[in-house]
Amino acid sequence: MQIYDVVIPEEMDGLRLDACIARLVAGRSRTYLQEMISRGFVTVNEESELSKKAPVSAGDEIHIELPDPVELDVVAEDIPLDIVYEDRHLLVVNKPQGMVVHPAPGNTCGTLVNALMFHCRDLSSINGVVRPGIVHRIDKDTSGLLMVAKDDKAHQGLAEQLKAHTILRRYHALVHGSLREDQGRIEGAIGRNPANRLQMAVVERGGKEAGTHYRVLERLAGYTYVELSLETGRTHQIRVHMAWKGHPLAGDPVYGVKKEKIRHDGQLLHAKTLGFRHPWTGEALLFDSPLPAYFETYLGKVRALGR
C-alpha cells in the first residue's frame, strides 16, 4: 500500500479534491483516484466522507492510502445466463443470487462479466476491462434484473437516466418485524460507516442523499413482505435504510439480525421490475421477473410459522 501525507500548499488552494490528488499522486488515473475518494481511502483533516468536487484549502491535511494495484485477467466463461431481453445495443439479465457482477481481487471467475464476455462479442468500454458493459450493479446475494450495455452510446444513455433518477427499479424484500404504515418513504443520507469502513450507514455528515419508497405486500408472523422502489441508487441502500428503521432484511449477513428463525445465506432481496427508455430508439421498455425459487421457498416457510 502506498501512503501519502500532505499539507496543501497555497498554490493548490481552491482546487477540486480529485484534481489536487491527481497532482500529488503520479501514475494513477483520475477515475481511479475518484473511486479511492468514494471508498474512503482519502481523508481531509481526518474526514473520510468526501465529495470529489469539494475544494481544498491551503493548510488542509490530506492522508491518502492507495492499495497496491492488482492486474486482473478477465476471461470469458461459458456460464448460463437468464437473458430477459437483448438487441444489438443492450441486454437485460436476470442475475441469480450468489453471482458477483464483476471480477475483483480474490474473485476473478464465475462472475456475470465472465459470462457476458462469452455470450457477447462486444460490450461497452466505458467502465474498463474489468467491468465491460456494466451500467449498474446489485449485490452478490441480491437477485434480479440488470441492464448491460453493448456499446458506449447505450452505456452513456442508460447512465444519464440513472443519474436523472428516471429509471424504474422495484424490489421485493422480506424484512423483520411489522412496519407501522402500509406504505411510506424513508429518507436518510448514506455514507461509509465511521465505525466500520466495510459497511455503509445512515450518517449525519458527509453522506449522499437517498430516498426509498416502500409498500407492504403481506404481513406475516414476525416479518413483512414489501415492495420497494429507489429514488437513488446508493451502495446497499435498501439494506441500510430498512435496518436503520428497525426492519433489517431477512438473511442479511451484514445489516441483519444475528439469530434468524429460518436460516438462509444472503438477504431476501430481488430486483423484480426494471423500466427505462431505450438509449438508441427512445422506446419505453418495462421488464418484470418472477420471484426466484429461494425466495418462494423462504416465504413458504415464514407463512407456515403463522399457521
Q: What is the CATH number of the domain that holds 210?
A: 3.30.2350.10
Tally of structural domains, the chain:
3
Which helix H or strand E contains 90, and what residues bound it? strand 90-95
Q: Which of 101, 131, 164 is the last residue of a domain?
A: 164
Q: Which of 164, 184, 218 is the last residue of a domain?
A: 164
Does residue 36 sit in helix, strand or coil? helix
Q: Are residues 145 and 186 in the same domain?
A: no
Residue 77 is assigned to a structural domain of this protein: no
| Amino acid letter, residue 49 | E
Q: Are residues 217 and 97 in the same domain?
A: no
Residue 78 is assigned to a structural domain of this protein: no
CATH number of the domain that residue 57 is part of: 3.10.290.10
Residue 279 is assigned to a structural domain of this protein: no
Q: Are residues 193 and 231 in the same domain?
A: yes
Q: Are residues 219 and 107 in the same domain?
A: no
Cell numbers placing 61: 491535511
Residue 113 is assigned to a structural domain of this protein: yes
Residue 230 is assigned to a structural domain of this protein: yes
Domain extent at residue 122: 83-164
> Taking the model in full, what pTM does it have?
0.77
> Would residue 78 show up in a list of annotated catalytic residues for this protein?
no
Residue from 234, 281, 303, 305 nearest 85 by CA: 281
Q: Are residues 249 and 149 in the same domain?
A: no
Q: Are residues 221 and 264 in the same domain?
A: yes
Which helix H or strand E contains 237, and what residues bound it? helix 237-244
Return d(Cα 266, Cα 166) in angstroms, integer: 29
Q: Are residues 115 and 215 in the same domain?
A: no
Residue tagged active-site, from 139, 141, 151, 252: 139
Per-residue pLDDT of the chain (307 residues; tens, 9 = 90+): 788 888 999 989 999 999 998 888 876 777 778 888 887 888 888 887 788 888 999 889 899 888 765 555 678 899 999 999 999 999 999 999 999 998 876 677 899 999 998 998 788 876 666 678 888 989 999 999 999 999 989 999 998 999 899 999 999 999 999 999 999 999 999 988 888 877 899 998 878 899 999 999 999 999 999 999 999 889 899 999 999 999 999 999 999 998 898 999 899 999 999 999 999 999 999 999 999 999 999 999 999 987 6
Does residue 61 sit in helix, strand or coil? strand
Q: Which of 113, 133, 164 is the last residue of a domain?
A: 164
Q: Are residues 198 and 298 in the same domain?
A: yes
Q: Are residues 190 and 270 in the same domain?
A: yes
Residue 180 is assigned to a structural domain of this protein: yes
Cell numbers placing 193: 460507516
Q: Are residues 89 and 148 in the same domain?
A: yes
Q: Are residues 23 and 6 in the same domain?
A: yes
